[in-house]
Each structure stands twice: as structure tokens, then as C-alpha cells.
């Protein structure tokens, strides 16, 4: 399944991803039904998203924008 979540962000998956915004930041999201999993978008000084940070129980993973 190919799904565009936001400008420049594409999710390729075989299941439906449900996200809920965190109250701490409009750029962070909890993954519903997955305790300990969240996603954060990092922006540069002009507001362009430069990376995605995935937090999960076994570590933190960074995906830099190409």
C-alpha cells in the first residue's frame, strides 16, 4: 500500500497506520496501539522537515531527508 501522509512523506505499508498527535509538540505523534512507539519530525531554521525520528522500545532511529 502506498499512502502520502504529508508533503514529502510517503508511507509504504501493508496495514493502516493510525497516529495521534502528542500534546507536547505538533511535530510528534504516538502510534496508536503500540506502546512506546512515537514519531517526531525535525525542521530546519526555515521550517523545512529535514528528518524523521522514530522512537521505539529497542532504540531511536533517524531517517534523514534526501
Could you give the percent of the chain with pLDDT greater than 70? 61
Cα separation, 21 vs 5, whole angstroms: 14
CA distances to 16, 52 from 39, rounded to whole Å, are 16, 7
Whether the predicted pLDDT of 49 surpasses 80: yes
How is residue 1 annotated by DSSP? -
pTM metric for this prediction = 0.62
Most confident of 22-26, 37-41, 48-52: 48-52
CB 29 within 8 A of CB 19: yes
CA dist 22 and 40 (Å) reads 10
Asked if pLDDT for residue 36 goes beyond 90, the answer is: no
Cβ atoms within 10 Å of 39's Cβ, excluding its own: 20
Amino acid at each position: 500500500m502506498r499512502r502520502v501522509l504529508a508533503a514529502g512523506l510517503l508511507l509504504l505499508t501493508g496495514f493502516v497506520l493510525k497516529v495521534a498527535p502528542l500534546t507536547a509538540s505538533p511535530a510528534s505523534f504516538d502510534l496508536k496501539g503500540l506502546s512506546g512507539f512515537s514519531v517526531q519530525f525535525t525542521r530546519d531554521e526555515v521550517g523545512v522537515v529535514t528528518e524523521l525520528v522514530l522512537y521505539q522500545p529497542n532504540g531511536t532511529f533517524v531517517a534523514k531527508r534526501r
